[in-house]
Chains A and B, each alone.
Chain A
């Protein structure tokens, strides 16, 4: 029997509730590069980010993104986080409990997947619902950037069994898709002078070069937000994709995906290893920059 596993680790936080509001301000948990990317005013304009997540279950979590402790659904957290990175993006929600086809908006689309579909290893094929089959289809056809949380079983490689003998089949089905990115978590945003280490909970890229080439890591500074897990890595890359698309408005999802992957930094992570970090730490400033200029 397959189960939906939210790639999220709850941390203790103070009790409080509040409104979900996007504020265009660089926050301490963000990479410093985000502020630089905002400096000219474009922050994801013309892009729709759809968060496929839990928006209605009874599972609520405490966390703190923009100064206030809140109690929100997992999907509200991931949507808010992506929106904080790309404040001018149009945000949409798709509750995964409905298990209906995920629709795309007109224009450029980013799908944030901070969940996995877990089942025991060894199955040769999965009968996907309309929801996941639509997502997989978009990723393989390059119709939307799909930012997929790698998972929270450190040591387990994307597409391989974890210590419980389970595999995230959604990960497995996205391997090789031209506009899908697996996103792992670092403990901090890295820099050449302060290298970041892989978060103890994060899945890794593994030995498959196909996965390595689709795998990025970003800092998930849970000690500042109370929110840990690769669930909160994927929305950062979703936001980066939105920012990048607002600059290169003619680029398609495959090109945006590739730009984020090929411009990742290896010099900001400790003991860089493609089997762990894939392409390296996502860098929005590198992704925005030209390859050459004269």
Chain B
């Protein structure tokens, strides 16, 4: 994970750090590799179970990826008070899951209250970026035949069809983010 930084290598401080009254500019304000959903999937890789003949099935090859999701965010100044936030995520995929590519849109509005203080409103939404888990085909032999199952829960006491209710199907954690901030300099 690279972490959330702005183009100046500083934590996001709103428009004040970026906006020049004379020109419309764009700044990279966030770069992050491995999103929350990506980290959730990576947590599954250490799990395993035994088949009925004792053979070990490791989850690592089902939930591995060659490219952890990369998310980047930019801020484009519209006027001294308003900036457009935009960006996207590359998505991520492995043999048994997929995180869709995403588009991030939003705005940052900043209103000075005095020379020392200001308030700002930031709102963003992420379109796409949903995590979807794929199914496995399990052979339960004479007792259950071939059945589509949730790979992770195939060996539990849940019925094969019941396991499908627990397939991961999650929206990105930052699908809608709103923050209101008051800053006063001393």
Contact = CB atoms under 8 A, between A and B. Distances in A.
A286 B157 contact: no
B153 interface: yes
A293 B143 contact: no
A248 B54 contact: no
A49 B145 CA distance: 25
A289 B157 contact: no
Most buried by A among B49, B137, B138, B155: B155
A124 interface: no
12 contacts: A36-B156, A39-B156, A41-B158, A243-B157, A248-B143, A285-B155, A288-B155, A289-B49, A290-B51, A292-B138, A293-B51, A294-B136
Chain B, interface size category, equals 20 to 34
A147 B136 CA distance: 33
Contacts, number: 93
B154 A293 contact: yes
A40 B158 contact: yes
A61 to B, nearest CB: 31
B119 to A, nearest CB: 49
Interface string A31-50: 00000111111110000000
A292 B154 CA distance: 10
A217 interface: no
Interface of B: prevailing SS = mixed
Contact of B144 (A36, A40, A251): A251
B142 interface: yes
B157 A288 contact: yes
Contact of B139 (A41, A263, A286, A291): A291
A33 B7 CA distance: 53
A256 B142 CA distance: 9
A255 B142 contact: yes
B22 interface: no
Nearest to B151: A293
A287 interface: yes
B141 interface: yes
Most buried by B among A286, A288, A293: A293
B158 to A, nearest CB: 5
Interface in A221-260: 243-244, 246-251, 255-256, 258-259
Contact of B157 (A247, A250, A291): A247
Contacts of B51: 289-293
A83 B169 CA distance: 36
A263 B52 contact: yes
A46 B85 CA distance: 55
B159 interface: yes
Interface string A50-77: 0000000000000000000000000000
